[in-house]
Amino acid sequence: MTRNLEAGLLAGAAALAGFGVALVEFAGGGSAEAQVGLTFLIFGAAFGLVHVGIRRFAPMATTTLVPPIALVTVFGFVEIYRLDPDRASLQRWWLVIGALAALLTLAWTGKQGITVLRRYRNIWFATGVVLLLLPLLPDLKVIRGVELNGSRLWIDIDLGFTGMSFQPAEIAKLVLVAFLAAYLADRQPALTQARRQIGRFSFPEPRQLAPLLAIWIGSLGVLVSQRDLGASLLLFSVFIGLIYAATGASGYLTGGLALVAIGGYGAWRVFDHVQRRVTAWLDPFSDFAGAGYQLSQSVFALGTGSLAGSGPGLGRPDLIPNAITDFVFAAVGEEFGFAGSVAVLCGYALIVASGFGIALSSRDRFRKLLATGLSLILGVQTFLIIGGVLRVVPLTGITLPFMSYGGSSLLGNFILVALLARISHEEAT
Amino acid sequence: MNRPTRRLATAIFLAFGVLLGFVTWYQVLAVDRYRNDPRNARTALSESGKERGVIVTRDGVVLAESFPDPDEPTAYLRSYPEGPAYAPVVGYTSLLAGSAGLERTFTDELRSRRDFTISDLIAAALGGDLRPRSLQVTIDPALQTTAYSLLEGQRGAVVAIEPSTGELLAYVSAPSYDPNPLTQPDALDFRQGLLDDPAEPLVDRAGNSLYAPGSTFKTVVAASAIESGLARPETEFPDLLEFPLPNSSATISNFSDGVCSTGDTVTLQVAFSRSCNTVFADLAIRLGAEQLGDTASDFGFNREFELPWPTAESVFLTRELRDDEAALGQSGIGERDVRATPLQMALVAAAIANDGEMMRPFVVRQVFDADGNTERVFEPVRERRVLSPAAAAVMTEMMERVVTNGTGGRASVSGVRVAGKTGTSQGSGGPPDVWFIAFAPVEDPSIAIAVLIEDGGLTGEDATGGALAAPIAAQLISAWLNR
């Protein structure tokens, strides 16, 4: 696929976004040519910025990464527009901000090379920890942590003339993966070589287990302090996956699974909200009017959508609580049907495949680990939230990358894509 | 070091495969389960406000129609111009209160399939018509409204059938309800009022309530005896003051507490016209549970009819009565464990009227497309032969004499030969449920009727089928033949 074809696909996605908005307006019996045009232009501008950034700063990057991202972004945006036009116009501007951030990331890493990230390893670690702790801030007038739906994962920033909410975990996951990739690239020998022999069994040195336990405790800390099941599980599984990728020692995976089981059981025992989620997951209909309502509405939406869907604007995804954030996939499933659901799943499969493709073709150790970590973030996060909506796993309440409403999520994921594109470029030259 | 990364990628793709499998389950394999779940409001919400087809009677009286909502240009409202009289047939469709009757069972035909979806475009491109279709029902409006007004102030039902086709001419349950408020925003309050009403207006007494059929069941017993050759109208039976039930200290006496005729012997014909319990308890035991049960089943007992809405199954417990002659004797006079719907007893009359052949009852005659072209015609269907033509002719004669010279005198219509049978069921204490089944004219029957009035109606304790139900049948026959 040539760069020009990629540009064509992005323009097509922008047209699709405008077309989706037009369909929603048509279904509602109104006409909003301005919204159609604005959506087309802003999508064109945002993905145009990303594209120009890639042409300028990562010209050799793979062309299969950005088009599927544009596709799923369009699906998510049409549903957000259909459910909440006001927030959709905010989302449009966040899209531009995300694209600008991607452009800046490309420019910065383009000048210095992606390995510049390796140099600031400890800064990333500190930044990540601070970001994760931010929501615990008391009210400091300018900035304060906010509790929402039982979880404390937001901060409000109030600068007097304007205010905004931000979800620091969306950025924290990036810097922490950057830290861990750098750390593992530096520490490779120490983690794989030494093993202690006791009788017929060989065990890793106790100090090798230290990072694993540190990550576990850190993740549990996120869970306990912020009650954020999703972020906690995401961070933990991505880190375990990354350590496994670095060492090839499958013991980290089994050990990680065991720790997830222990942590999960403990969380289930201790936290009401975890128990409620597990009960609602196992049988949402037993408490239809209460804890199971959201998941019941989700499967009703999917079933009613059936093969072809109701069509954008013609279903009732408004019956699903939080349809524009956690449940945006169910909203797409209802209005675009099985066809839309499969398109979205294929889109994510392509994105993740491109990411892992970049990792696998990387020769440099740091770049390979960073690409693996970033791909894992996308893959695991997508699986956790879509799996939650489909009742494959308990609902964890994290955003669906590129599709859910939310500025921090879009911003973080656009930076993530820029990093992947840059790695792809560097490994191709 | 690519192997672990490749494995991680594989794991992610397997996980995505699981997601694909679940999506396939929800959106392809288990669609009906989730789409039709009663707690899923989506279907009702999408139907609400859309145009639906018209329901009309055979002579064009509109029973249900959609009209544009004056407040919202794109939406439609549903109305039922004929109100309560037709509610058990037409039913209603309501966003809040659900649906019933034809509105429910024929919703696929009545609804507009214009959903503004891509499937619409494809269907339209292939020449499909997405507009709602309309129904014509077999109900005769004069008969339906007359029957409804004759039951006023009482709880009961009238079912009238055209014997040669099975077309339902009237299907009335009283008291009834006005379906129009159920389409309004305060539908749930209105429905709660109906549910709390002790007269139970939402109950379909014509097809979904079971009553002891009383002496109308003697029609089935007599038909069984004549069809099997066990007895003829002239066959003589002992005329007892009390019939002693076998293996029991209980006895069965006649309604008058006297003998049936002279106290010596009595013919089946006289016992039938005078509705003598002693003879029919005796006859039921002589027939045996198997023979009587076979005839009852041929008449439709122990079977469900769909009109197309489902109806209750009338009951004759052959197996339980096989070894219990006392209970069999009591069942022979339509008490004990025998239960029937008014629909079932109308079918008994209709089968005899149609030379022993029962036609399947139905209420929708035609489906029209939006341009008024007939799209589907429901032809009469033979349900089964119940009696030989000869036996049916004998039964007709016996039933005619109930009206000319027996308990059904008040069902006579001047200039018309009417055949019938009275019933007064004691049931479970309190005033009796009274019955009359009939058909006319005898020489070429065009209507078969069952009339039921619960708890003695307006006449209370003293009510009998002959006094209370028979005159209603007469008026309906007269109204039908003079239409």
Task: Give the pLDDT of residue B361.
Answer: 96
Task: Give the pLDDT of residue A287.
Answer: 80
Quick one: pLDDT band at residue B474, thresholds 50, 70, 90? Answer: very high
Task: Give the pLDDT of residue B65.
Answer: 93
Q: Where are the alpha helices (DSSP H) in B92-204?
A: 101-105, 107-110, 118-125, 141-150, 187-196
- Report, as an integer, the average pLDDT of A135-155: 69
In the chain, the amino acid numbered B322 is: R
Q: Is B173 a catalytic residue?
A: no
Rounded percentage of chain B residues whose pLDDT exceeds 90: 64
- The catalytic residue among B215, B273, B412, B425 is B215
Q: Which of A295, A306, A345, A380 to mutate to test the interface with B (most CBs of B within 10 A)?
A: A306
Quick one: pLDDT band at residue B323, thresholds 50, 70, 90? Answer: confident
A66–chain B nearest CA distance, Å = 19
Task: Give the pLDDT of residue A208.
Answer: 64
Of A36-45, A74-83, A261-270, B360-369, give the lowest mean pLDDT range.
A261-270
Residue A192, pLDDT > 60, answer: no
Residue A191, pLDDT > 60, answer: no
Instruction: Specify the DSSP element, H or E, that contains B63.
Output: strand B62-68
Instruction: Report the chain B residue with the minimal C-alpha distance to residue A353.
Output: B9
Residue A194, pLDDT > 60, answer: no
Query: Which residues in chain B touch residue A333, judged by CB atoms under 8 angstroms apart?
Result: 23, 26-27
Of B56-65, B79-88, B201-210, B422-431, give the lowest mean pLDDT range.
B422-431
In the chain, the amino acid numbered A259 is: L
Instruction: Report the chain B residue with the minimal C-alpha distance to residue A240.
Output: B8
Task: Give the pLDDT of residue B463.
Answer: 86
Task: Give the pLDDT of residue B471.
Answer: 94
A161–chain B nearest CA distance, Å = 42
Question: What backbone phi and psi angles, to 5 degrees, belong to A40?
Answer: -60, -45
B24–chain A nearest CA distance, Å = 7
- Report, as an integer, the average pLDDT of B191-200: 92
Of A215-219, B163-167, B229-233, B407-411, give the lowest mean pLDDT range.
A215-219
- In whole angstroms, give the CA distance from residue A82 to residue B462: 68
CA angle A378, A379, A382 (to 5 degrees): 80
B126 touches chain A (CB under 8 A): no
Residue A267, pLDDT > 90, answer: no
Tokens of residue B146, six digits: 């007359």
Higher pLDDT, B122 or B363: B363
- In whole angstroms, give the CA distance from residue B336 to residue B340: 12
Residue B118, pLDDT > 80, answer: no
Higher pLDDT, B312 or A250: B312
Which residues is B419 bridged to in the sheet?
Answer: B439
Each residue's pLDDT tens digit, A397-422:
788 999 999 888 999 999 999 999 99
Q: Among residues A292, A336, A285, A251, which one has the least CA distance to residue A23?
A: A336
Average pLDDT taken over every residue of chain B: 90
Tell me if residue A58 falls in helix, strand or coil: coil
Nearest beta carbon to residue B19 from set A365, A375, A392: A392
Residue A162, pLDDT > 90, answer: no
Each residue's pLDDT tens digit, A14-64:
999 999 999 888 887 777 778 899 999 999 999 999 999 999 999 999 999
Tokens of residue B379, six digits: 């032809």
Are A61 and A425 in contact, with CB atoms under 8 Å apart?
yes
Query: Which residues in chain B touch residue A342, judged by CB atoms under 8 angstroms apart?
Result: 20, 23
- Report, as an integer, the average pLDDT of A103-116: 90
- Report, as an integer, the average pLDDT of A175-184: 90
**Interface contact A345-B19, CB threshold 8 A:** yes
Each residue's pLDDT tens digit, A327-364:
999 999 999 999 999 999 999 999 999 999 999 999 88
B40 touches chain A (CB under 8 A): yes
**Interface contact A300-B117, CB threshold 8 A:** no
Burial class (CB in 10 A: 0-12, 13-18, 19+), B373: exposed
Burial class (CB in 10 A: 0-12, 13-18, 19+), A313: buried
B15 touches chain A (CB under 8 A): yes
| Predicted ipTM of the assembly | 0.92
Tokens of residue A66, six digits: 């950005």
Of A251-265, A315-329, B118-132, give the lowest mean pLDDT range.
B118-132
Residues 6+ apart with CB under 8 A from B386: B223, B295, B298, B299, B351, B352, B356, B357, B358
Question: What is the maximum alpha-carbon separation in chain B?
Answer: 112
How many interface pairs between A and B have CB atoms less than 8 angstroms apart?
144
A286–chain B nearest CA distance, Å = 12
**Interface contact A383-B33, CB threshold 8 A:** no
Instruction: Specify the DSSP element, H or E, that contains A61.
Output: none
Of A65-79, A152-166, B161-175, give the lowest mean pLDDT range.
A152-166
How would you classify the pairing of strands B55-56 and B134-137?
A: parallel
User: pTM of this prediction?
Assistant: 0.66
Task: Give the pLDDT of residue B157.
Answer: 96
**Interface contact A304-B42, CB threshold 8 A:** yes
A187–chain B nearest CA distance, Å = 15
Quick one: pLDDT band at residue B291, thresholds 50, 70, 90? Answer: very high
CA angle A234, A238, A244 (to 5 degrees): 150
Task: Give the pLDDT of residue B72.
Answer: 75
**What is the CA B475 to chain-centroid distance, rounded?**
21
Average pLDDT taken over every residue of chain A: 86
Higher pLDDT, A30 or B53: B53
Q: For the beta carbon of residue B47, count every other beta carbon within 10 angstroms.
A: 18
Higher pLDDT, B394 or A283: B394
Instruction: Report the chain B residue with the minimal C-alpha distance to residue A354.
Output: B9
Are A423 and A104 in contact, with CB atoms under 8 Å apart?
no
Are B195 and B229 in contact, with CB atoms under 8 Å apart?
no
Q: Which of A304, A362, A420 to mutate to test the interface with B (most CBs of B within 10 A)?
A: A304
Tell me if residue A156 falls in helix, strand or coil: strand
Are B144 and B85 in contact, with CB atoms under 8 Å apart?
yes
**Interface contact A387-B15, CB threshold 8 A:** yes
- In whole angstroms, give the CA distance from residue B224 to residue B280: 12
